[in-house]
A and B are shown apart, each in its own frame.
Chain A
């Protein structure tokens, strides 16, 4: 399984995400798409930013992207089931958004830094983080257990939009450190939703990233709803067009197409690492499930809409493509399903074993060097809890 960067293949060949100005013709107003819902490959396409996008993956890479999509969907489904069984307090499902996350996640190089929301389990997976990690947060045993520096993947951010400014500042730091301007430069990616584009923080991030030419890719997963509110409640124009007002390119990509998501993200990241500044990608997709497990989507959207998007499923089209091109056979698909099943079972077993934290652990890490007052409070709680030992409480 290629958990690494599909840009660097087993054969040592780098899959190109070529970018050149189209010789003629108008940029399409359609999202960039390289794999149709029917599973047909599109050779190359010009995005709204005028860039011609194409990808050239090896057979093994195509298969590994498919594997990623199936795995993250399965793990996500398992987490949803765990919530239903009372093992998680809440879960924010990525169902339907696998291609946007795997495509962009696989486009990242190891040196690139990602700033997620609370739904980027697929990107987290691509960064090589144990998929159990976000479950601690949603189970309520911790607040996110991975090391952001080690994995180059930040803490989940629940306050909408806040991370876009963090990403901007981090990206400014990359420039200040002289880490842009070459092929092996660093780039930064910030994830957020369509609703987030209304936040002041996100608009301030656009301003800052623009004027400081930060090596930053804004990756908006437009899944059509902010909880119950449809896109029209956040904007009058297509979101990718906002970028123009802030002075950087914007492009809309078919977020259910893993190849196109990869291509546009790779291109924008490469531009950023070369010192050409920020870009906004609007991954046009759909949240197939509820906003979170405590949401009731039947109150605000209709079944036919969900069905229409079902026909654009990111996994089905990749499977159709692999089958048609004879890049994979039934044995392969069965093996992938079996691996996904095993990983899901493994995840479940470990979640059930996740212990509750010790109550006094709430005093850990409030300050790097502790505080005398908190030590006193910690001792007080310990003594208090001990006072119940052996009592009928």
Chain B
């Protein structure tokens, strides 16, 4: 078994390489994905090895990237589109929600759009405005799209390949502040045998409260669980992995065992994913709950100037604080 230590970024790069190797219909397209290898180098070296017909530097036009990828998909290709930063997906928003999400439905299943839209998302890297946003709720609210996000190198490697192989259009959110985090990756794990793309996973078992997180916040939740353990509290951390559709079965099971739940995300709280999750847990697990489901989220402001982003972003203390409150009920 070839297990290597890779960063999330390198794991994505390796996963994309595998996808290009295993299916000649896979094409990567986006701004600066060629010679530069993308601004985060996620496509580093791919154009050199697969040529500029398969790793395509596009004009600087997001609506164009997604719109032409729709045409390529109709033509039988599997486009993997890179949107350079979260805040630049909006010029393509119309194509994604009006066209990508609906063509399969409108054609009564006759047209497939097996497209992956990769977006580095979230804050915490000291960037200027439009470079730190969490747009997941916009896409999760759109039926016909699937939205997934990875939180560790192994998932990055497996999930990107699973997403490319999927016939669904998938918004693949990459937690950019985790690109440089390292972890073991089993490079030979067969894709079908790997953990399914649309399943939440318990990443740290515990008995006292459930902390739900995804993408960049999984690390925060895990750190909170480590800190809580020192105080004798065992938190169960669940990585949602897929944001639409939500794998709520796994969530209910955990919450029924622990009786307490805190949902963590970077996006603003108002109408964020946490709202949906809290409502669903309340409906399904009411009699198991010892306290209301609490949310720890970004505030309902535009993403602020980077010198105050530490205060905007949920951190270990805010998570522990919420956990404490569920015990105070």
Q: Which residues of A contact B (CB under 8 A)?
A: 89-90, 118, 136-143, 158-160, 195-196, 198-201, 226-229, 233-234, 294-296, 299-300, 356-359, 361-363, 366, 373-374, 377, 381, 384-385, 388, 393
Contact B57 A233 (CB under 8 A): yes
Question: CB distance A357 to B87 under 8 Å?
Answer: no
Which residue of chain B has the shortest Cβ distance to A144 in the bound complex?
B129
Bound form: Cα–Cα A138–B36 in Å:
23
| Interface residue B249 (Cβ < 8 Å from any Cβ of A) | no
> Residue B130 at the A interface, CB < 8 A?
yes
B98 CB to closest chain A CB (Å) equals: 14
Are B305 and A141 closer than 8 Å at their CB atoms? yes
Instruction: Return the chain A residue nearest B317 by Cβ.
Output: A393
Q: Does A366 contact B36, Cβ atoms closer than 8 Å?
A: no
Q: Which residues B216-249 have CB closer than 8 A to chain A?
A: none
A253–B87 Cα gap in the complex (Å)? 33
Q: A366 with B87: in contact, given A140-B128, A357-B308 (CB under 8 Å)?
A: no
The 7 closest A-B pairs by CB, nearest first: A140-B306, A198-B59, A228-B36, A359-B311, A362-B304, A195-B60, A198-B61
Residue in A90, A143, A227 whose beta carbon sits within 8 Å of that of B32 in the complex: A227
Cβ 8 A contact of B308, one of A136, A196, A300, A362: A362
The residue in chain A whose Cβ has the minimal distance to the Cβ of B88 is A159
B side interface size, CB within 8 A: 41
Nearest B residue to A199, CB-CB: B61
20 A–B contacts from the bound complex (CB under 8 Å): A90-B128, A118-B128, A138-B128, A140-B128, A143-B129, A159-B91, A195-B60, A198-B59, A228-B36, A228-B57, A229-B32, A294-B39, A299-B35, A359-B308, A359-B311, A362-B299, A363-B299, A366-B300, A366-B301, A374-B300
Q: A141-B305, A299-B35 are in contact. Are A198 and B300 (CB under 8 A)?
A: no
Count of A-B residue pairs with CB < 8 Å: 118
For the complex, is B196 an interface residue (Cβ under 8 Å from A)? Answer: no
Contacts A89-B306, A143-B305; A200 near B63 (Cβ below 8 A):
yes
Asked whether A201 and B57 contact (CB < 8 A) given A140-B305, A362-B311, the answer is no
Residue among A143, A159, A228, A374 making CB contact with B35, cutoff 8 Å: A228
CB-CB contacts of B122-144 with A at 8 A, as 1s and 0s? 00001111110000000000000
What chain B residues lie within 8 Å of A299 (beta carbons)?
35-37
Q: Whole-angstrom distance from the CB of B296 to the nearest CB of chain A?
A: 11
A residues near B182, Cβ cutoff 8 Å: none
Q: Are B307 and A377 in contact (CB under 8 A)?
A: no
0/1 per residue, B313-329, Cβ < 8 Å to A? 00001100100000000
| Residue of chain B at shortest CB distance from A160 | B60
Q: Does B302 contact A (CB under 8 A)?
A: yes
Contacts of A384 in B (CB 8 A): 318, 321
Residues of chain B within 8 A of A356, CB atoms compared? 307-308
On whether the beta carbons of B127 and A89 are closer than 8 Å, the reply is yes
Contact of B31 with A226 in the complex, beta carbons under 8 Å: yes
What are the residues of chain B within 8 A of A359 when measuring CB–CB? 308, 311
Chain A residues contacting B127 (CB-CB under 8 Å) are 89-90
Pick from A118, A300, A363: contact of B36, CB under 8 Å: A300
CA distance A324 to B308 in the complex (A): 53
Tell me the complex Cα distance, A233–B32, Å. Answer: 10
Check if A158 sits within 8 Å of B128, measured CB to CB: yes
List, in ascending order, chain B residues with CB within 8 A of A374's CB.
299-301
Using a CB–CB cutoff of 8 Å, the interface residues on chain B facing chain A are 31-32, 34-37, 39, 57-64, 87-88, 90-91, 126-131, 270, 299-302, 304-309, 311-312, 317-318, 321
- Chain B residues with Cβ below 8 Å from A366 are 300-302
Contact of B299 among A143, A159, A377 (CB under 8 A): A377
Residues of A within 8 A of B37 (CB): 299
Taking the closest CB of chain B, its distance from the CB of A177, in whole angstroms, is 30
Q: Shortest distance in angstroms between A374's beta carbon and chain B's nearest beta carbon?
A: 6
Q: Which residues of B contact A118 (CB under 8 A)?
A: 128
Q: Which residue of A lies closest to B321 (CB)?
A: A384
Closest B residue, CB atoms, query A195: B60
Question: Given the known A-B contacts A89-B127, A200-B61, A233-B57, are A227 and B39 also in contact in the complex, defined by CB atoms under 8 Å?
Answer: yes
Query: Which residues from chain A contact B90 at a C-beta distance below 8 Å?
Result: 159
B220: shortest Cβ distance to chain A, in Å?
16
Q: Which residue of B lies closest to A226 (CB)?
A: B60
Specify the chain A residue showing the minimal Cβ separation from B56: A233
Instruction: Pick the most buried of B60, B129, B317: most chain A CB atoms within 10 A of its CB.
Output: B60
Q: Which residue on chain B has the smallest CB distance to residue A364? A: B301
B126, closest chain A residue (CB): A89
Set of chain A residues within 8 Å of B63, measured between Cβ atoms: 200
Contacts of B305 in A (CB 8 A): 136-137, 140-143, 357, 362
Contacts of A393 in B (CB 8 A): 317
B307 touches A140 (CB 8 A): yes
- Nearest Cβ in chain A — how far from B295, in angstroms? 12
Whether A158 contacts B91 by the Cβ 8 Å rule is no
The CA of A363 and the CA of B298, in the complex, are separated in Å by 12
How far is the CB of B301 from the nearest CB of chain A, in Å? 5
Contacts of B131 in A (CB 8 A): 158
Complex formed: what's the CA distance from A140 to B312 in Å? 13
| Interface contact A159-B87, CB-CB below 8 Å | yes
Instruction: Give me 17 other A-B pairs in contact (C-beta within 8 A), A200-B64, A357-B304, A384-B321 excluded.
Output: A89-B126, A90-B127, A137-B128, A137-B305, A140-B126, A140-B305, A158-B87, A195-B59, A198-B60, A229-B32, A229-B59, A294-B39, A300-B35, A356-B308, A374-B300, A384-B318, A393-B317
Given contacts A159-B91, A227-B32, A228-B36, contact A373 B300 (CB under 8 A): yes
Instruction: Give A233 to B59 CA distance when docked, in angstroms.
Output: 6
Min C-beta distance of A386 to chain B, whole Å = 13
Report yes or no: B130 in contact with A158, Cβ–Cβ below 8 A. yes
- A274–B110 CA distance with the chains assembled, in angstroms: 56
Residues of B contacting A358 in the complex (Cβ-Cβ under 8 angstroms) = 308
A381 touches B311 (CB 8 A): yes
How near does chain B come to A292, taking the closest CB pair, in angstroms?
9
Residues in A with CB closer than 8 Å to B311 are: 359, 362, 381, 385
Chain B residues with Cβ below 8 Å from A229 are 31-32, 34, 57, 59-60
How far is the CB of A138 from the nearest CB of chain B, in Å? 6
Question: Which residues on A sit within 8 Å (CB–CB) of B306?
Answer: 89, 140
Cα–Cα, bound, A142→B306 (Å): 8
Residue of B nearest to A159 (CB): B130
The answer to whether A199 and B91 have CB atoms under 8 Å apart is yes
Tell me, in angstroms, the Cα distance from A200 to B302 when the chains sit together.
Answer: 25
Within the assembled complex, what's the spacing in Å between the Cα atoms of A228 and B60?
11
